Amino acid sequence: MEPSKHGPNGPSPTLWPAGFAVGIAVLLVGLIVDPAVISSIGAVIAILFGALWVRDATAELRGHPAPVEPETRELRAAAAAVQAPPSSSTPRFARSKFLEFSTLGLGGVIGGLVTVPIAGFAVLPPFLGQKRHETDLGPLTAFPEGKWFIATFMTDPKEGEVSRRTAFVRNNGVAGNVPSFTIISNRCAHLGCPVQANGPTGAILGEPNVVEHTANGQILLRPVVPAGFGCPCHGGQYDTEGNRTAGPPVRALDRYSFDIKNGHVILLSTFSVSHVDGTGAQAKIFKYKQAGPGEHVDGPEQWLYPLQPPHH
């Protein structure tokens, strides 16, 4: 008698993969909650079910073939067909397929429960709860017209040294009855290294440093005569308006927005600049939303970068 066309059924699926997935999930959650205890429990579960899974999957290789259901003979199938009522036209869903999809679905749910919170903690904070910092650099009288200063300040004194920043500040005079300032960030547009002024400062010029005390704490203003700005890390060079002149940077230096309140210069948020035409109060600044170092802000290259969180 010939065997059935359907052939023998394969080994029945097991729940070992689901147990292994649960162990991995417990281990990952434990890394956040309690690495010493919960992660250890998860590791034990994963190792145990993983070993059982491997043992079951390699049974034939070890000389112990997995049990299979006996093949169905045509004769018995024919007899059963005579005795059984006509079957429905709707195909039956095999139990093995149900268990397979259930296992995959359970693994997907567990993976989502583990991944989504971790991804949320990693990605969402930069987009949420960002407060705007306003930095008081001191009175207008501290910035004589046409002179450059290297300003060192803290954007948020409560955060301490981690909020310390440096900017290059020049009073351009008045433009349209409004004070005009050039305030350039010292963060290189290549990889974020601290840019330095290419020129003499402070004692070399015979001019004293200026210290202002404001709501943001102590503000240090060092006089400088820059011929441009340079990055000591990778050789990026910029002119006095922050335009890239040489090296690997992809754009001009970032700038600070500013406001004048009660006769004081107030720094606001930073923004990115592709390039600047002109100088001083007559400069035309091609301004863009803040982007990270090395990221293009114009042209087709800008499409290659992800959504930026707010910067203040």
236: phi then psi, degrees, rounded to nearest 5: -65, 140
Specify whether the CB–CB gap between 18 and 25 falls below 8 A: no
- Please give the average per-residue pLDDT across 267-275, as a whole number: 91
pLDDT band at residue 255 using 50, 70 and 90 as cut-offs: very high
Specify whether the CB–CB gap between 244 and 251 falls below 8 A: yes
231: phi then psi, degrees, rounded to nearest 5: -100, 120
Domains, the chain, ordered by start: 16-84+95-123 (no CATH), 135-304 (2.102.10.10)
pLDDT band at residue 2 using 50, 70 and 90 as cut-offs: very low
Spacing of C-alpha 42 from chain mean position: 28
Q: Does residue 259 register a pLDDT over 80?
A: yes
Q: Does residue 125 register a pLDDT over 70?
A: no
Which of 110, 270, 252, 102 has the alpha carbon at shortest distance from 183? 270
| DSSP β-bridge partners for residue 2 | none
**Which is it for the CA torsion 47, 49, 54, 60, positive or negative?**
positive
| DSSP β-bridge partners for residue 169 | 149, 183
- Please give the average per-residue pLDDT across 17-35, as a whole number: 78
Specify whether the CB–CB gap between 55 and 20 falls below 8 A: no
Q: Output the pLDDT for position 93.
A: 61
Q: Does residue 116 register a pLDDT over 80?
A: no
Q: Output the pLDDT for position 5.
A: 47
**Which is it for the CA torsion 192, 193, 194, 198, positive or negative?**
negative
Q: Output the pLDDT for position 126.
A: 60
Q: How many helices (H) and strands (E) does the chain have?
A: 5, 13
Q: What is the pLDDT of residues 136-159, one digit of tens each?
A: 999 999 999 999 999 999 888 888
Q: What is the pLDDT of residues 126-138, one digit of tens each?
A: 666 566 678 999 9
CA dist 218 and 211 (Å) reads: 7
Q: Output the pLDDT for position 7.
A: 47
| DSSP β-bridge partners for residue 185 | 167
Q: What is the pLDDT of residues 66-87, one digit of tens each?
A: 565 665 555 555 555 555 555 5
Q: Does residue 243 register a pLDDT over 90?
A: yes
Tokens found for residue 275: 């390039």
HEC assignment per residue over 154-205: ECCHHHHHHHEEEEEEEEEEEECCEEEEEEEECECCCCCCECEECCCEHHHH
Q: Output the pLDDT for position 22.
A: 84
Q: What is the pLDDT of residues 41-71, one digit of tens each?
A: 888 888 888 888 888 777 766 665 556 566 5
Query: Residue 247: CB partners within 8 Å, gap ≥ 6?
Result: 190, 231, 234, 235, 236, 237
pTM, rounded to two decimals: 0.60
Q: Output the pLDDT for position 291.
A: 87
Tokens found for residue 63: 């000389």
Lowest mean pLDDT segment, chosen from 3-12, 59-68, 242-251, 255-264: 3-12
